[in-house]
Amino acid sequence: MDTESQVIVAAAVSNLQPDNSHLVPMLEQTRENAEALPVIALNDAGYWKVENANYADTHGIDLHVSTRSNRHATDPPQPMPSHLHPRPAHPPRALCS
């Protein structure tokens, strides 16, 4: 979704697992539909894999993916280790530039 216009820029339905194999095709569909890759991509833990992080890094996408699934946890979530996300934080901005 483009945060400025609130328009969904890519969508798909699949019954194939795992979800992590669908991230790059969604980013590519975003590029085709919006004529740009997203600046930021937010995803749940099902989309985490190193290849997705490498793709995002190569294409300048600020990728945010939970690295663990903890639906009904009693412990509060722990911050991501800094070595996994070395870029400094920045204020929110549009998903596509």
pLDDT digits (tens, 9 = 90+) for 33-89: 999 999 999 888 888 888 999 999 999 999 998 876 656 555 666 666 666 655 555
Give the list of residues 6+ apart from residue 57 with CB closer than 8 angstroms, or none: 63
pLDDT confidence of residue 54: 92
- What is the Cα–Cα distance from 43 to 64, expressed in whole angstroms? 6
- What is the Cα–Cα distance from 60 to 92, expressed in whole angstroms? 16
pTM: 0.66
Q: Which residue has the higher pLDDT, 5 or 27?
A: 27
pLDDT confidence of residue 84: 63
pLDDT confidence of residue 95: 52
pLDDT confidence of residue 25: 94
